[in-house]
Amino acid sequence: MSNTAAGQAEVGFLGLRFASMREQDALAWIAARRDAPAFAYLVTPNVDHVVRLARAARDGGDAMLWPAYEEADLRLCDSRILALLARWSGIDLPVVAGSDLTARLLGSPLPAGTRIALIGGNEPQRRWLAAAQPQAEVAQHQPPMGLRTNPAAQLEVARFIEQARPHLTLLTVGAPQSELVAQLVKRRGQAGGVALCVGASLEFLTGEKRRAPRLWQAARLEWAYRLLSEPRRLWRRYLVEGPAIFAIWWRWRSRAADDAVGTGSVNDPAR
C-alpha cells in the first residue's frame, strides 16, 4: 500500500493504483473539489475496463488508454469480482460502486448555485437531474456517436466544459470515451471542479434500466442480472471478453510473486 500526493492511501492491483477508501470518503473527496480551480476526475474501473486495458497493453492498442486511467485523480474499484481476485492475492481492495456513489451524490441537495455539466445522456436524464437538484444549474452537451475515435468531437466536449465552468461534470458517454475526454480536459488545464465517469448510473436513477437487486450484487452476480436484462447488447462483454480477467489476474499474480522474491511485496503493479 502507498499514499498519493494528497495523502490518500492506495493499493496496487492489476497494474492500477486504486484508492483504499469507502463510499463516504469518496463523497467527501468530491465535495472538497467542487470549487477547486484545477480540474480533477474520478474513474471507477471494473472487469470490462481492466480487460480492455490489458488488451491495449498486449496488442499495442490505443496508447492513450492506460494514461487516461493513470492520470485520474481518484480510481475506485467498481467490481466485486476484482475485489474477490484481490482478496485471493492477499490484498484488501474496497468496492465503491459507481452507480451507488452517483445515487448518493445526487440523492442529497448540492449547494445552491452548483453548476452541473451533463455530457451525453438524453432529455429524460436532464429533466431528472434538474428535478433532483432544482437549486443547481444544468448544462447538457450531447456529442456525436464515435466519440472515442473523433478528436474534434472530444475537443468540442472539452471546450463546452471549459465554457460552462461546472463545479460537477457527469460524463455518461461510456468507457473509455468518458475517461479519454476527462484526461483531455485535465491536460488542457482550463477547467475546474470535479468530473465523474458515471457510465449507466443516470439510466438506473431514471428507471430506464434496472439495477440488480442487492442479493444479486452481494453474490457477485450483478453481471448476470445485466446480461439477462440486455442479452443482445451485453452477451459478448460478459460471456466472451469478461472471462479473460481470470487469465489476466493469474499472469499478474505470477509476475507479482516473482517480483516479491526480490522486493518483499506482491502489490507492485505488473501488466
Q: Structural domain boundaries of the chain?
A: 18-44+62-81+96-242
Report the distance separating Cα 70 and Cα 73, nearest Å.
8
- Return the C-alpha cell found at 119: 455530457
Q: How far apart are CA 59 and CA 219, in angstroms?
A: 33
**What is the pTM (predicted TM-score) of this model?**
0.88
Over residues 266-270, the mean pLDDT reads: 38
Angle among Cα 31, 35, 37 to the nearest 5 degrees reads: 130
Kindly report which listed range (18-22, 92-96, 227-231) carries the lowest average pLDDT score. 227-231
Total Cβ atoms within 10 A of residue 162:
17
Tens digit of pLDDT for each residue in 221-261? 888 878 888 888 888 888 888 999 999 999 999 987 666 54
Structure letter (DSSP) for residue 23: H
What mean pLDDT, rounded, does the chain reach? 89
Q: Where are the alpha helices (DSSP H) in the chain?
A: 23-33, 47-59, 65-70, 80-88, 98-106, 123-132, 151-164, 177-188, 201-206, 214-218, 222-229, 231-235, 244-263
Q: How do 9-13 and 16-19 pair as beta strands?
A: antiparallel
Residues whose CB falls within 8 Å of the CB of residue 88, separated by 6 or more in sequence, listed in order: none
Are 238 and 250 in contact, with CB atoms under 8 Å apart?
A: no
